[in-house]
Amino acid sequence: MGGVTSTMAAKFAFFPPNPPSYTVVESGGKLMMNGVVARENVDILKVGTKRGNQVVAVYIKNPAAVLTVLYSHGNAADLGQMYDLFSELSFHLRVNLLGYDYSGYGQSTGKPTEQNTYADIEAVYRCLGEKYGVKEEDVILYGQSVGSGPTLDLATRLPKLRAVVLHSPILSGLRVMYPVKRTYWFDIYKNIDKIPFVNCPVLVIHGTADDVVGWSHGKQLWELCKEKYEPLWVKGGNHCDLELYPQYIKHLKKFISAIEKSHLRKGSVPLPHQPEKPRNSTDFRETSRPNTDQREKFRASTDQREMPRLSTDRREKARTSTDKREKSRKSVDRPEKFCNGSEQPEKARNSIDRFGEMMRSVRLCNIDCFRPTATTV
């Protein structure tokens, strides 16, 4: 059965770039990656897996980092194409970041299969602890598209894991192609069955116009999370362009900040940005209710005829408070405007420019990456 499953996975789930976008050479006893800009804070690694493959990984150090992100990239991409994005994420989020190529991708040996990807992520996670001394409770697993499979598989086995980010995730391999209502034995990456066993906060990011992995995948996974973090539904976002939207990096920054400030184990104080009743998304927010109670207080102050000036002052304060709330509400609602390119604020645009240039110049996804074709073997 496992062999049939792996064959199915190879047929529709894996499209490694051919030829790879980079090569690895040894220079002065140190591995170097050709095709990318060499940086002093970057280590190039080859990590052995329990299935006998050697996977290439990139570890980016940030001196200000408290947390480390282990990033499992999407389909039809390799480390050479992801390298600049990884560097930007490490810098903007102030995290260490380890990215890797699955078996059969880039310069990693072996063939891409579901079971190999599980062994791959285990090996690089183990490397974080053995080589860099990273603790489980300081790790955030980040899975993009097909990378959500190995990410959630590992997350179910790490009880002290700090957090998980799912970027355009899949419910399962079969569900991408067919609207099945149950899990079949031959399905792959059964994320829908695994996510209830993840015991840390989960951030889900998905585009509402994703025509490769439908938005419903992200929404259903978020609904099944034990510890829900406010999701990011990017209006108009497709499968491979979410990094172009300013709210992508802004929401990730907010998430990382919340994770850093929270010691977040069972029974601990909840994340400051996690609503008691989960909101539908960051794009659709509820109107603040405390305003009604404050208006009652203001009405009471106007009824105090004996102190008219004090009452007037209070009304002025009320207006000021209301204005502040309006400004706050506008700042909260601003993500709705981000999807309209003409309304992107200058500051947000400047902060994301490098992401935009990078993503426009590199095709990071095969738009048919989950659609079998007649030529597939």
368 is catalytic: no
Cβ neighbours, 10 Å, residue 364? 22
pLDDT of residue 342: 38
Please report, to the nearest 10 degrees, the dihedral formed by the alpha carbons of residues 350, 355, 356, 360 taken in order: 160
pLDDT of residue 28: 87
User: Beta partners for 70?
Assistant: 98, 141
pLDDT of residue 262: 82
- Tell me how far the alpha carbon of residue 3 is from its chain's centroid: 30
Cβ neighbours, 10 Å, residue 192? 20
What phi, psi does 8 have (nearest 5°)? -65, -40
pLDDT of residue 10: 55
Read off the DSSP letter of residue 107: T
Class of residue 45 by CB neighbours under 10 A (exposed 0-12, middle 13-18, buried 19+)? middle
Catalytic residue among 167, 239, 251, 273: 239
Tokens for 85, please give them: 């994005």
Residue type for position 17: P
d(CA 6, CA 110): 13
145 is catalytic: yes
Please report how the helices 79-93 and 346-361 are oriented relative to each other, as an axis angle in degrees rounded to 10.
Answer: 160
Which among 63, 126, 73 is positioned nearest to 102, based on CA atoms? 73
Q: What is the pLDDT along the chain (377 residues), one digit of tens a residue?
A: 555 555 555 555 789 999 999 999 998 889 999 989 999 999 999 999 999 999 999 999 999 999 999 999 999 899 999 999 999 999 999 999 999 999 999 999 999 999 999 999 999 999 999 999 999 999 999 999 999 999 999 999 999 999 999 999 999 998 988 888 899 999 999 999 999 999 999 999 999 999 999 999 999 999 999 999 999 999 999 999 999 999 999 999 999 999 999 864 444 434 444 443 443 434 433 333 344 444 444 444 444 444 444 344 444 444 444 454 444 444 434 433 333 333 444 444 444 455 455 445 444 444 344 444 333 33
Cβ neighbours, 10 Å, residue 10? 18
Residue type for position 64: A
- Is residue 246 within 8 Å of residue 348, measured between CB atoms? yes
Read off the DSSP letter of residue 112: -
d(CA 137, CA 139): 6
Tokens for 216, please give them: 């419903």
Catalytic residue among 72, 103, 145, 262: 145
Task: Report the alpha-carbon angle 344-60-36, nearest 5.
Answer: 80
- Tell me how far the alpha carbon of residue 291 is from its chain's centroid: 34
213-222 contacts, C-beta under 8 A, 24 or more apart: 213/145, 213/168, 213/169, 213/170, 213/176, 213/239, 213/370, 217/169, 217/170, 217/171, 217/175, 217/176, 218/166, 218/168, 218/169, 220/171, 220/192, 221/166, 221/169, 221/171, 221/191, 221/192, 221/195, 222/278
239 is catalytic: yes
pLDDT of residue 90: 98
Catalytic residue among 153, 210, 241, 283: 210
Decide the pairing of beta strands 30-34 and 23-27. antiparallel
